[in-house]
Amino acid sequence: MATPVVFRSPASAPGDRGRRLGAAFPERIRHAADFYDRLFAASGIAPRDAAALALEAFDHVAAWSPAQAEEMEGIARGSGLPLGRIAALNARTEILGRFGEQHPECSTLVHLPADGAPPATAQTWDWHDGMRDGWFVWSVEHPGGRTVHMVTEYGIVGKIGVNSDGLGLHFNILGHTADRTAPAAGPWVPVHVAARHVLDTCTTVAEAAELAASIPVAASGSFTLAGHTRGRADAEAVELSPAGAVRHRPRADGHLVRTNHFVDPGLAGGEAFGAADPGTYQRMKVLRERTAEAGPADRADLLDALACHPEHGAEVCCHAAPEAELGKRWETLATVVLDVARGSLAAHAGGPCTRHPGSWAEAR
């Protein structure tokens, strides 16, 4: 696989930033939109349902975070796509969770050293192989001086990332039975937009966790936060769902492991992913064992733990089955590490088993 594309947006108004991104990658954004149209159809989602939920999501974003809505409008203008298709990209998790079928994806590891040194972090991003070329590294400079580096999909405003204040965010999708129903009342925010907003506005793990736990969502997810701010290291995970939010601290040995199911017993009562595919439990079990054996860990140790295949006990590093039908071809599209002390990010195209020193794209 090629080294990931890195694109930097200089400080500007959100609409201008989005327009420049859209104009730089119109074909890649169109490819992403076309892929999700096909995936929605393969999942049995009626186009009218996807379009209606996408526009509903955009209206909520405009009310909750006008800057994100302006950026999405700019992406639409720059790429020449209708706003509804950009909105559908940013609400793709909510559309699949409400009307279609989600699958487990992603494994995240964070180690918080006992001596206060910066946390080590790493994750796999597992998704459909049709999006193998559908993601990039995006660096966004803000007028106030903060810079946010992200791994995200073309046309989607956020996902995994780190900001220049020393806050990092890893992203795992979860599934809850409440994802299938519309929120009872009030606005809700797509989880990808929520992740970006946390990175745009927060400085510390505690601040980010408090904000994340307060965000009304219509689909479930886990934000694993790591930070090193003013010489203090911290880490925490927040499980989000329409049924509520719960925060989790690292284990006594400093490790924090996330896959794609709820750990909180209360939220686990509505578990959707694990009920459909118990592989998420096995991935967590094996990763807990591998990190416990490793003890204090640096970036290389975490990547070694993630380079785990079925013969090692769980399919953490995924490789697609070419004969599988659309919607069933899972692959580790990206391996991402965050250096929160430097406010930088490195991404490798593919699973951790294929990484080598020259394969990483870095944003700092």
Q: For 138-152, write each residue's pLDDT tens digit.
A: 999 999 999 999 999
322 has a pLDDT exceeding 90:
no
Using 50, 70 and 90 to split pLDDT, how confident is the model at 275? confident
Instruction: Please report the DSSP string for 244-290 in residue order.
Output: EEEEEPPPTTSEEEE-SS--SHHHHTTB-HHHH-THHHHHHHHHHHH
Q: pLDDT value at position 183?
A: 67
The answer to whether 13 and 67 are in contact (CB under 8 A) is no
Nearest to 55 by CA among 75, 34, 73: 73
Q: pLDDT value at position 104?
A: 64
Q: For 182-222, write each residue's pLDDT tens digit.
A: 665 678 999 999 999 999 999 999 999 999 999 999 999 99
Please give the average per-residue pLDDT across 110-116, as a whole number: 95
Nearest to 213 by CA among 194, 230, 232: 194
The answer to whether 208 and 198 are in contact (CB under 8 A) is yes
- Tell me what percent of the residues of the chain surpass a pLDDT of 90: 89
Using 50, 70 and 90 to split pLDDT, how confident is the model at 240? very high
Question: pTM, whole model, 2 decimals?
Answer: 0.96
Residue with tokens 């998704």: 127
- CATH architecture classification, 107-356: 4-Layer Sandwich (3.60)
1 has a pLDDT exceeding 70:
no
- Read off φ and ψ for residue 246, nearest 5 degrees: -135, 140
Please give the average per-residue pLDDT across 9-25, as a whole number: 98
Domain boundaries of the chain, sorted by first residue: 6-99, 107-356
pLDDT top residue among 181 and 68: 68
Q: What is the mean pLDDT of the chain?
A: 95
**Cα(240)–Cα(216) distance, rounded to whole angstroms?**
9
The CATH code belonging to domain 6-99 is 1.10.10
Instruction: Show Cβ contacts of residue 108 under 8 Å, excluding neighbours closer than 6 positions.
Output: 121, 122, 123, 170, 171, 172, 222, 224, 256, 257, 258, 259
Q: pLDDT value at position 139?
A: 98
The answer to whether 151 and 159 are in contact (CB under 8 A) is yes
- Tell me what percent of the residues of the chain surpass a pLDDT of 70: 98
Q: For 39-93, write each residue's pLDDT tens digit.
A: 999 999 999 999 999 999 999 999 999 999 999 999 999 999 999 999 999 999 9
Q: How distant is the alpha carbon of residue 341 from its chain centre?
A: 20
Please give the average per-residue pLDDT across 339-363, as a whole number: 97
